[in-house]
Structure 1
Amino acid sequence: MIAPLHYSSMAHRIVTRFTAADAALVASAAAVAHVATSAFVRGATLDAARDRLGRPASTLPSVRTLADDDRRAILAAQLELRAIGRNLNQLTRLAHRGQVDLAQLGPIVADLSAGVEELAVQLGTRP
């Protein structure tokens, strides 16, 4: 399962070796899935581990099952969220300098919160 990662919490590293042919096969599969090779290996490994242990999979679909339209939609949402994050960082800097009227931000924050909740519902992470 490919889920948003918090890299600071990824303190453990597992080293593995592949033949040239196997590495090329994994890289090709990652390219088809439109993810980094490391993300593909991590997702496939976690899928296999959960399956082997009989544990339920994440609520997010496996990278192998995402349709191209879904991947494009997720990428577009990621890009939009990054832009929002940059804007919030800029606003935070200005607010710390006393250059922002915080009272005017209330409706904007409410709209942003509603949009995040809607996205969470569409992704299946909220009831």
Structure 2
Amino acid sequence: MNKDIRITFRVTPEDYERIKTKADQAHMSVSAYVRAAALRHKVVVVEGLKEQTHEFKGIGRSLNQLTILAHEGRVSVVDLDSVFSALEKNYIGLCELAEQERR
């Protein structure tokens, strides 16, 4: 088969050395090794995961801000019921996405 399309991507020198070592151990060229690794693994796309992780990041940012304010002495008591509720809601949503993916 004619291989006339080139794919170029950047890696760190450390990553390149790791890939090259694995290719050498497999007695393959780097391009053959990367091609085999890329084509033999299943890529799973989970719809809705981006929204879930976005929510978790937002909750994490809020908790970090509260922690900073507490360390600065600007807040002393925080009601975290809404945070726990949001975490529980997102966790349930994440479990549902995982369950859908298993099917």
TM-score by length of 1: 0.42
Greater C-alpha radius of gyration? 2
